[in-house]
Amino acid sequence: MKRSHLVALAAVTLAPAAAAAQPGYGAPPPPPPPQGYYSQPPAIPGGFHDRTGRMALGFSLGLGGLNVGGEEVTCPSCDYDPLAVEFDFHIGGMLSPRFALLFEVQANGQTIAENAYGAASLVQATAMVAGQYWLTPQLWVKGGIGAASLSYSYDDGYASDSENIGEGMAVMGAIGYEVLSARTFSIDLQGRIISGSYDSFDENVTAGSIGVGFNWY
């Protein structure tokens, strides 16, 4: 056999071995990450947080006013014009990245009389089923419906008590914006309006407030 033929045969024989020796050739895929390895949650279209299936828990505090039958609630005996105080609490779950179903309680109270011995307040308390929907990753709207209770509470400096005025139905609407927005926590600025309808004295009691909310997911 000619020398040129031997050289060609050797080159053909050695080519696969040389290729196999190249880095990465035929290498197995990298092993999966170990148990407990953290990975980023999948991105949600539109930049929404992936909160689906997580609990929603939070509360807010606000200031505003009360209105009974179209008339603003005032305190004629006060030396100042008091604002109504608002508090609410909610608990529920995220059904999707943009929608939460919640159980929500809210109370609005305003001083209506005051003297040297104590003060009296009008308080509206509500318990509702509410839905919250995020229009953008930070802007949301909320609506709810449920039961309302109106009471008169007073403190004369020696004892405090309350007297129920009536029971009725409540409807609520709110809008908020998350100034601090993360997957598991947010702080928002929000405006709320809630109205209780009472058959016992055929009047609506409406409360509006602006406040700040703290939420965990």
In whole angstroms, what is the distance from residue 121 CA to residue 207 CA?
A: 14
Percent pLDDT > 70 in the chain is 80
Sorted by where each begins, the domain ranges of the chain are 50-216
74 CB-contact burial (10 Å; exposed 0-12 / middle 13-18 / buried 19+): middle
Q: pLDDT of 96-122, one tens digit each?
A: 999 999 999 999 999 999 988 889 999
CATH 3.60.110.10 fits 50-216, yes or no: no
Which phi-psi region, left, alpha or beta, contains residue 47 (left: φ > 0; alpha: ψ -120 to 50)?
left
Instruction: Output the pTM of the full model.
Output: 0.77
One-letter amino acid identity for 132? Q
